[in-house]
Amino acid sequence: MTLTLYGIPNCDTVKKARNYLDRRGISYHFHDYKKAGVTAADLERWSDIVGWEKLLNKAGTTFKKLPDADKVDTLFTQALARKATPAEQSAAARYLADLKAAHTENPAMVWADFAQSVLNLKEFLYLK
């Protein structure tokens, strides 16, 4: 059985993993998910194992460069399997403004808090 390493070639963590495997002579197939994509089944399986929060790299430059509305849609899609509605986008914009004002000393907490709120929304929706 061949190991499959999923990632993007220019990611530092992926580079380290590939070097580690290469140095030890461990064969692997590299799957560039930006070029080849990832199946919904794989994402769902991984999300069940580690949680969607770990699958969404909020620290990466790709996520950081996204407009807030796209970040909101990304989080909603990962947590709820759908994009935010216009009403949810509007509410999210107001909430994000409040979070940004509250976290001026630690801006990374803005998206951590927002992601937790989306997770709470997911739990609430399942309790309905």
Calpha distance 124→120 (Å, rounded)? 6
Taking the whole predicted model, whether its pTM rises above 0.85 is answered as: no
Mean pLDDT of 71-86: 82
Q: How far apart are CA 79 and CA 118, in angstroms?
A: 7
Give pLDDT, residue 84. 87
pLDDT value at position 124? 52
Structure tokens at 116: 């937790």
User: Is the confidence at residue 29, as pLDDT, over 70?
Assistant: yes
Strand, helix or coil at 3? strand
86-102 helix and 108-127 helix, angle to the nearest 10 degrees: 140
Report, as residue numbers or ranges, the catalytic residues.
Answer: 11
